[in-house]
Amino acid sequence: MLRQLKKKYFIDLGSTLASTFILCIYLFVGWYFFNWLIIDGVWVGDANICKNSSGACVSFLKEKFTFILFGVYPREYLYRPILGIVLLVIGWIHFTKKKNWNNLLFVKFLVLMIIYFVLLSGFGENKVETSKWGGLPLTLLLSIVGVAISYPVGILLALGRTSKQAVPRYLSIVYIELIRGVPLISILFMSSVLIPLFLPDGITINKLFRAQLAIIFFSSAYFAEVVRGGLNSIPKGQWEGAKSIGLNYIQTIKLVILPQALVKVIPPTVNTMIGMFKDTSLVIIIALFDLMGTTKASMTDSKWLGFSVEAYFLCAVIYFIICSRMGRFSKKVEEEFQRSH
């Protein structure tokens, strides 16, 4: 173990110097952080004790933990979003196993999504209005419904863009390039300000749905580009082979091309999903209370002012855990592909 360490980090003068320097940086940051969180951190006590200490105010986080995670969701029904998140975690573990990658996966995913939605909203007397949804469950909802709709739309757009017919091709190109050329914020603005203007009198769409629409519009263009990469990587022989056994276009796409193309682009697809998950934080700009929104809102309590860094830290940890789990999966698949080639 020690010898390995020596071989890896301390072979010659150069690497020893570099290792020592980097180690010093790590130690310094680690020590600073340890001081901030543990030694100077206030774990028990109210805001006044926190204000007099130079460390982290952990008691603020303890006080606001439920609020940051779940927003103003009614406390008596809190078990429902928790159950939903547990189901999602189980689903994630299930979906990332290679033996489950078949057509049934899409059905399972849809069922899971519907269950999650029903759990959040409830029905009858237990119904919880969408305006009360918040925190992590909302962030997850925006991303999962976003993926579930924009991924198929993205596939259609990619097929359109690679199609030989002019009309779908140009429509797809215009759509994809238009969306990819503008920032998500402008699309969020558009959906929050403009959609009401496009609707007939008397019909209103709630804010959550509008934000969801914007996210779907936005990410379908990115999914389309990822899928197009997969479609382009399929050799021509596959198309010709399918034609020679008498498959028509839809059969060829469904049975031959897509199953290969989609598996090939799993890593970039997951990366797009990570990007989308992170991008849902932008809905705070149109005043929705997703995880970022509740984090921001937790700082406005007049009893606990000035602990923004602590709140951001907790929020960052949650985002980091979820994103890095997804990223690790994408990396694993990529390495598997490289080994098999």
Residues near other proteins (CB under 8 A): 8-9, 13-15, 17-19, 21-23, 25, 165-168, 171, 178, 180-186, 189-190, 193-194, 197-201, 274, 278-279, 281-282, 284-285, 292, 296, 306, 308-309, 312, 315-316, 319-320, 323-324, 327
Closest contact distance (angstroms) between CB of 82 and other proteins is 23
Among residues 82 and 190, whose Cβ is nearest to other proteins?
A: 190
User: What is the Cα–Cα distance from 139 to 335, expressed in whole angstroms?
Assistant: 29
- A 10 A CB-CB count for 211 gives 25
Shortest spacing between CB 45 and other proteins, in angstroms: 20
User: In this structure, what DSSP letter does residue 42 have?
Assistant: B
Place of tokens 């600073």: 32
Nearest to other proteins of 119, 283 (CB atom): 283
Cβ proximity to other proteins, 130 vs 281, nearer residue: 281
How many Å apart are CA 166 and CA 14, to the nearest integer? 60
In angstroms, give the least distance from the CB of 200 to other proteins: 6
* Closest CB 142 distance from other proteins, rounded Å: 13
For 234-248, letters b (16+ CB in 10 Å) and e give beeeebeebeeeebe
Report, in Å, the least distance between residue 19 CB and other proteins.
4
**Exposed, middle or buried, 326 (CB in 10 Å: 0-12/13-18/19+)?**
middle
Q: 109 vs 249, which CB is nearer to other proteins?
A: 249
- What's the Rg (C-alpha) of the chain? 24
Beta carbon nearer to other proteins, 119 or 319:
319
